[in-house]
Amino acid sequence: MKKLVILICYALIAVVFAACAAKSVHDAGKDTPVPSELPSLTETPDEVSVIEPVYLTPTPTPETAGVTLVPWDGIVEHLFFHPVITYTEMAFDGDSQEKGLDDYMVTLSEYEKILQSLYDRNYILVNINEVWSEYTNDSGQTRMKRNTLMLPEGKIPIILSYDDVNYYTYMLENGMTYRLMLGRDGEIWSYGLDPQGNVVVSQDLDTITVLDKFVKEHPDFSHNGAKGMLNLTGYQGILGYRTQTEKGQDSPEFEANRQNEIARVRPIIQKLKDTGWYFASHSFAHNNFEKMSYNGAVADAERWFAEVGSLVGETQVLVYPYGGRLDKGDFKNTGEAFKYYQSKGFRIFASVGNESFSYIKPDINAVICDRMHSDGYTLRRERERYSKFYDAAEVWDDSRPTGDEYPINW
């Protein structure tokens, strides 16, 4: 059986590093067994020790603070991350996955500094679903249009998105958190194991909880409560819960466990939605649409709707794995596979690029956009291009690997 794939979300980089990084991470993919030290996935959050949270004094939202709103018609920046590396000693340990992790991820400390830098440079988080909307033109056709955002004076809008928030098994082995959970306080926490194998439940170690805390402390970093877009595949479940069906796994025990995982993840999805997070499809199997047949693209969508969309709800955003477009790389071309996805409700088709490019299709109700990628690859090579967001030299984590294979061009 063809191995199902991985994390990496950009075609260009995937091409450049196909021989090394992509393959090494691929090897760590779906077929990797769950580590033996992984606690039972069926235990409930109450069975792990929940650290008592610190309750912060509620702060007024920008709306209530008497902020002047002004129109914004400029570029809406879009920056994406993968789940962060929490324990760098597990990721950067010289194994076959090290290079891919270095290329595609940022570390926890880098992520915290990047968020602070975005805030210091007056960026404000906006929801991608507010940036474009449908309208009916003079010919009676539905098309997309760019909206004028009304933002607090001096703020620059940015969309943050997060690919592969699935907590794949290779992530668990490489120093990332294991899953999201609801604490007894009803808040989102992360669950995981530290390098010594101790259970750690925290709000300081995970991509999502760190942004939650940051927005709590800096409410004017979020417009209308927006946080980030979570771009989910489904082949290893979602958000750390193994909700997927598996070929050849039709025993009552497997299904009972799967339903238990579904029951556990539902309230987490709801809490995320209640607190400014929203979801997009990142395909079911993380294959490259540019290399897929029409039937393959349809089958992947059907499985995503059945196993992921059924849990997270409707979305109008498709985030291409590897940045590989349904229109086969020509954004002015609208092929049959693209039309199929559009007919299923997708309106915003996001790839990866060197700028936050966007293009409203004239022939169909859809918008194409690119996202910039915050990761080790650009930290090492694109200091200038990303300097509007942060200075790579300032956010750089010294625990990243060094040597000929790991150049820095600044």
Beta carbons of 300 and 227 less than 8 angstroms apart: no
**Could you tell me the smallest distance in angstroms from the CB atom of residue 41 to Zn ion?**
22
**Could you tell me the smallest distance in angstroms from the CB atom of residue 165 to Zn ion?**
10
Closest to Zn ion by CB, 189 or 279: 279
**Could you tell me the smallest distance in angstroms from the CB atom of residue 277 to Zn ion?**
17
Copy the structure tokens of residue 4: 């199902």
Q: Which residue type, as a one-letter code, is found at position 228?
A: G
Radius of gyration of the chain (CA): 21
* Nearest-angstrom CA–CA distance, 319 and 304: 13
Q: Which residues contact 64 (CB under 8 A, 6 or more apart)?
A: none
**Could you tell me the smallest distance in angstroms from the CB atom of residue 168 to Zn ion?**
10
Closest to Zn ion by CB, 276 or 323: 323
> Which among 350, 363, 342 is positioned nearest to 322, based on CA atoms?
350
Residue 73 Cα distances to 228, 314, 365, angstroms: 21, 27, 20
* Nearest-angstrom CA–CA distance, 206 and 134: 35
Using left for φ > 0, alpha for ψ between -120 and 50, and beta otherwise, residue 224 falls in: left
**Could you tell me the smallest distance in angstroms from the CB atom of residue 378 to Zn ion?**
16
Closest to Zn ion by CB, 7 or 76: 7
* Nearest-angstrom CA–CA distance, 188 and 186: 7
**Could you tell me the smallest distance in angstroms from the CB atom of residue 229 to Zn ion?**
13
> Which among 28, 379, 331 is positioned nearest to 170, based on CA atoms?
28
Closest to Zn ion by CB, 215 or 238: 238
* Nearest-angstrom CA–CA distance, 113 and 207: 12
Copy the structure tokens of residue 126: 């906006």
Q: Tell me which residues touch Zn ion (CB under 5 A).
A: 7, 9, 163-164, 321
Closest to Zn ion by CB, 110 or 164: 164
**Could you tell me the smallest distance in angstroms from the CB atom of residue 234 to Zn ion?**
12
Closest to Zn ion by CB, 103 or 163: 163
For Zn ion, the nearest residue by Cβ is: 9
Closest to Zn ion by CB, 82 or 155: 82
Residue 142 Cα distances to 25, 151, 280, angstroms: 41, 27, 22
